[in-house]
Amino acid sequence: MNRNTWIVAAIGAVVVAAVGLAIYFALPHPTQLTGDPWDYTILPSEAPKDWNLVSQGVITPHDVALESAERSLPITASASLNNMEQLYYAKYEPPETSEYLDLSIQIITYKTDADAAAALAAGGPGAGWEKVGAATIGDESRVWHFVNVDPTISQNIYRVDFRFLNGVASVTLIGTAEALPNAGEPMRYARQILEKMRYKATPQEVKRLTAARLPDLRKVLLTQDEIARLDEKLGGRWQVDARFMPQWTPTDQLGSPSARELLARLGRASGYQMFLVKALSAEEKKDNISEGLFQQVSGYKQADGAQGALNAMIGLEQGVESPAPPQVGDKTRIWSAVLTSTQSDGTQIDVAVSEIDFQVGRFVGSIRLQSRPLAEAEFTSGQIENLQLAVKFATGLAVNLKAVEK
């Protein structure tokens, strides 16, 4: 496709039906989706061969509330965003010679089933689309087809919106009329998402934390609103870094075998990490130093296990550990340095990096803060300012951990 032109007998049947019913009733029936929306998406390994994930991201209520959010959100919402918790979007593109143009996915989680139902009822693709009759997916669904006003354009666009519990998902696929004659293919992707929602409604790591009498660690990380209060310089601009989806860090998937063995012996239940980036214009960057934030929390069954894990942490390998760090939590370790990095084009940049690892009871928290590229004259002042903000963030995270420590 030229991308430039795009705008057994009756008894057997009974047996099959019986097996289908058995499978249906064997499926888990969760009551709420508590995973992250991207837990349920189509992964690159599940997309067609040679298709590329060209963009993805996370949008939060904080982002929506920003003054310019309506103009800057890189999405076309499949549903109302009222009372939503998180929105994940992704776009796949096929090779140039493909008969398809792209595959777009949006998954939104809401506070309640009612919120999700109301959002789906209020949403829709707008003018130019017609509803298509199709089997129901999830609790309720709608299938749409875009009506081409130009009969010479031999292409189809199908979109499937569905709700399952407190989640709403949308799948849109574009292709030639020959490759995409009906909505069957996007419906297949929608069913894949539904299956993940059904089987992964509650993250496995939450179950492990609950068994260890620990809270959901996502709820103790610094929120964007908390970060904005701690960062006095355009602190509201911090957003989830689209290059790195927030994720669980299961103990059996960390580091080397020896590291995993140590953490398991220390009683690590699980952990969660998040990268954020400060979205600033070139002019705004002149008055701001820090622009990359990493935060992570791990939960341990006992406080002495958390302390042992903190003692074993390597920290910022190229940095210097402070012999007398400011107090954050029960025990603190801090590293800071100006590091040189080589970019993809071969150019070198210098950035200040500060890492603070600390213990609060049965938790170990980490903050790593990175500056924008620094001129040589900014090395000292930039490192100091970056470290000062890192201490603020670490202190705020320690407050959150203290509030849930039992």
List the CATH number of the domain containing 162.
3.40.1000.70
- Share the mean pLDDT of the chain: 89
In a domain, 382, yes or no: yes
Domain shared by 180 and 276, yes or no:
no
Domain shared by 142 and 259, yes or no:
no
Domain shared by 110 and 252, yes or no:
no
Residue 183 has pLDDT above 90, yes or no: yes
pLDDT, tens digit (0-9, with 9 covering 90-100), for 150-173? 777 789 999 999 999 999 999 999
In a domain, 296, yes or no: yes
In a domain, 333, yes or no: yes
Residue 219 has pLDDT above 80, yes or no: yes
How many domains does one find in the chain?
Answer: 2
pLDDT, tens digit (0-9, with 9 covering 90-100), for 3-14? 443 333 333 434
In a domain, 232, yes or no: yes
Number of Cβ within a 10 Å radius of residue 115: 20
Domain that includes residue 231, residue range: 204-404
Question: What is the average pLDDT across 124-141?
Answer: 91
Domain shared by 217 and 348, yes or no:
yes
Which pLDDT score, from 0 to 100, does residue 24 have? 44
Which pLDDT score, from 0 to 100, does residue 406 have? 67
Domain shared by 251 and 264, yes or no:
yes
Token couple for 153: 């354009």
Residue 349 has pLDDT above 70, yes or no: yes
Which pLDDT score, from 0 to 100, does residue 76 have? 59
Residue 81 has pLDDT above 90, yes or no: no
> 1 CB contacts (<8 Å, ≥6 apart)?
97, 98, 99, 100, 101, 175, 176
Domain shared by 195 and 211, yes or no:
no
Residue 18 has pLDDT above 50, yes or no: no
Which pLDDT score, from 0 to 100, does residue 346 have? 85
> Lowest-confidence range among 60-74, 91-105, 219-233?
60-74
Domain shared by 177 and 254, yes or no:
no
Domain shared by 195 and 208, yes or no:
no
> Considering 199, 221, 247, which residue would you say is the last residue of a domain?
199
Q: How confident is the model at residue 65 (pLDDT cuts 50, 70, 90)?
A: confident
pLDDT, tens digit (0-9, with 9 covering 90-100), for 226-284? 999 999 999 999 999 999 999 999 999 998 899 999 999 999 999 999 999 999 999 99
176, exposed or middle or buried, with CB in 10 Å at 0-12, 13-18, 19+? middle
Which pLDDT score, from 0 to 100, does residue 342 have? 87
Which pLDDT score, from 0 to 100, does residue 3 have? 42
> Considering 199, 232, 264, which residue would you say is the last residue of a domain?
199
How far apart are alpha carbons 44 and 86 in whole angstroms?
21
> 158 CB contacts (<8 Å, ≥6 apart)?
132, 143, 144, 145, 146, 172, 173, 180, 182, 183, 185, 186
Domain shared by 316 and 398, yes or no:
yes
Instruction: Give the rounded distance of the alpha carbon of 1 from its chain centre.
Output: 33
Q: How confident is the model at residue 2 (pLDDT cuts 50, 70, 90)?
A: very low
